[in-house]
C-alpha cells in the first residue's frame, strides 16, 4: 500500500503529532476535527459553509444512511460525495456505536448484529460483509470496521468477549476490503481499539490490530459515560501501542479542552456532535469558555461572539444572535453552527501551528487554563 500518512513533526514535551493524511478526495492536515454529517448533511449548514470555515473532512453515518435513503440508491446516484454535494474526504462509521446506543433494539451474535430499525421496526443485520458493502456503496474515503462497543461500567469478562469479537470482525473487514479492491482503489479502512477501562485488554487489542496493518486506527469505547479522567486514561493506555506511522482517531468527542488534551496524548483526528448540537440551543464556544446567548446580559451586546474569528457569523452581534435564538428562528441554528464548527476547526489550526513552532506543550496548557477559568467565572456569575 502506498504511503498515505506523513508524520511531519512530534512535540518534545508531549506525545502530540503534526501529520498529513492523503485520501482519494484530498489531503487532510492533522490534528483535525471532523464535523458530523449523520444523514448526509451537517445539520443546518451547507457544504459551501463547511468549505468557508476550513472543514477538511466530514463524517457520515453508515447505519442511518443505510436505513434511509439506502446505500444502493446513493451508489446509483454517484456515491455519497455527489449525493450530498461535498467534494472533500468523507469518513463513515460502521454502525458499531449504534450497537451500543440502541441496546434495546439489537442482538449481538458472533457473525454480526441483528437490529430492529429504530424508525419502523424493520429487521436489519450488520456483519463485516454488510458493513463493508454499505461503505463501498457510499464511496467512503475512510471506512470503519464493525466493532462492539462495551458499556461503562463493564465487567472484565464481558469486555474481553467484546474485544475478541471486535478483533475477529476487524480481520474480516480488512480481508473483504482487500478482496473487493476497496483498498487497492485508494480507500482507507480504520480499525477500532476497544477494551473499556482495562489497560491490558486495550494493549492486547491495539497490538493485535497493529499486526493486521490497517491504514489507520481509532480509539473506541470512550465518552460512553465514564468521567473525564478515566476517558483520558483510556486514550493514554491505547495510543502508545498504535503504529506511529499511521493516523490515530478518537471517536465521538469532545469539548475543546478535551481535544487539546488528547492531541497531547498522540491523537490526530476527532469528531463530535457537540458543537452542532449545542448551537441549536444557543450555546457557543469562546476562548473564555462556553457562552449561553439566552442569558439576559447579551440582550444589548453589540460585540461579535469572538472578536477576530473571521466567519460569516462574525457579521452579527451577540444581541441579534440572542434575539434569533429566543425567537426560535431557523437562522440562529445556521449562524451558531457556523461559529461553533469554525471555533473547533480554528482550534485545530492553532494546534498545528504551535506544533510547527515547537511550543505545543506550554501553549495548550495555557489555552486550557484560560478556557476553564472563564467557564468557571461564567458559572459563578450566573449563580
Residues 6+ away with beta carbon under 8 Å from 27: 20, 21, 56
Q: Which of 141, 147, 268, 271 is catalytic?
A: 271
Sole residue written with cell 450530498:
84
- What distance in Å separates the CA atoms of residue 102 and residue 336, rounded to the nearest whole number? 29
**Known catalytic residue at 93:** yes
- What distance in Å separates the CA atoms of residue 287 and residue 308, rounded to the nearest whole number? 11
> Which among 29, 40, 113 is positioned nearest to 73, based on CA atoms?
40
Per the CB < 8 A criterion, the answer to whether 270 and 254 are in contact is yes
**Known catalytic residue at 213:** no
Per the CB < 8 A criterion, the answer to whether 194 and 170 are in contact is no
> Which among 34, 33, 25 is positioned nearest to 86, based on CA atoms?
25
Instruction: Compute how many other C-beta atoms are within 10 angstroms of the C-beta atom of residue 284.
Output: 23
| Residue ranges in the chain assigned as alpha helix (H) | 47-52, 62-67, 71-76, 80-84, 96-101, 128-138, 156-179, 199-210, 228-238, 256-264, 274-279, 318-327, 330-357, 360-382
Q: Which of 93, 147, 268, 346 is catalytic?
A: 93
DSSP label of 303? S
Residue numbers annotated as active site: 93, 271
Amino acid at each position: 500500500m502506498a504511503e498515505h500518512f506523513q508524520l511531519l513533526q512530534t512535540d518534545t514535551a508531549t506525545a502530540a503529532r503534526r501529520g498529513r493524511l492523503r485520501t482519494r478526495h484530498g489531503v487532510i492536515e492533522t490534528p483535525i476535527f471532523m464535523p458530523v454529517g449523520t444523514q448526509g448533511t451537517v445539520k443546518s449548514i451547507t457544504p459551501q459553509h463547511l468549505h468557508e470555515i476550513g472543514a477538511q473532512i466530514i463524517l457520515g453515518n453508515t447505519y442511518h444512511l443505510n436505513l434511509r435513503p439506502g446505500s444502493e440508491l446513493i451508489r446509483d446516484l454517484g456515491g455519497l460525495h455527489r449525493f450530498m454535494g461535498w467534494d472533500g474526504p468523507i469518513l463513515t462509521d460502521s454502525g458499531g456505536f449504534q450497537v451500543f446506543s440502541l441496546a434495546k433494539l439489537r442482538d449481538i451474535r458472533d457473525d454480526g448484529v441483528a437490529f430492529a430499525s429504530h424508525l419502523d421496526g424493520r429487521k436489519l443485520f450488520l456483519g463485516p460483509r454488510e458493513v463493508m458493502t454499505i461503505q463501498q456503496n457510499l464511496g467512503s474515503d475512510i471506512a470503519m470496521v464493525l466493532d462492539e462497543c462495551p458499556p461503562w461500567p463493564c465487567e472484565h469478562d464481558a469486555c474481553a468477549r467484546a474485544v475478541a469479537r471486535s478483533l475477529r470482525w476487524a480481520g474480516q473487514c480488512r480481508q473483504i476490503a482487500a478482496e473487493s479492491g476497496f483498498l487497492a482503489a485508494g480507500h482507507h479502512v480504520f480499525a477500532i481499539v476497544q477494551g473499556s477501562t482495562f489497560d491490558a485488554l486495550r494493549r492486547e487489542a491495539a497490538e493485535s490490530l497493529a499486526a493486521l496493518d490497517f491504514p489507520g486506527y481509532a480509539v473506541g469505547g470512550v465518552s460512553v459515560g465514564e468521567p473525564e479522567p478515566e476517558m483520558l486514561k483510556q486514550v493514554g493506555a491505547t495510543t502508545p501501542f498504535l503504529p506511529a506511522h499511521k493516523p490515530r482517531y478518537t471517536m465521538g468527542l469532545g469539548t475543546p479542552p478535551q481535544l487539546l488534551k488528547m492531541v497531547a496524548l498522540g491523537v490526530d483526528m476527532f469528531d463530535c456532535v457537540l458543537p452542532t448540537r449545542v448551537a441549536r440551543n444557543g450555546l457557543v464556544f469562546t476562548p473564555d469558555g462556553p457562552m449561553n446567548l439566552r442569558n439576559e446580559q447579551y440582550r444589548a451586546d453589540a460585540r461579535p461572539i469572538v472578536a477576530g474569528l473571521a466567519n460569516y457569523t462574525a457579521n452579527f452581534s451577540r444581541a441579534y444572535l440572542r434575539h434569533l435564538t429566543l425567537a426560535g428562528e431557523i437562522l440562529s441554528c445556521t449562524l451558531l453552527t457556523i461559529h461553533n464548527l469554525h471555533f473547533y476547526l480554528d482550534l485545530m489550526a492553532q494546534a498545528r501551528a504551535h506544533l510547527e513552532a515547537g511550543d505545543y506543550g506550554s501553549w495548550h496548557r495555557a489555552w486550557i487554563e484560560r478556557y476553564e477559568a472563564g467557564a468557571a467565572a461564567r458559572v459563578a456569575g450566573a449563580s
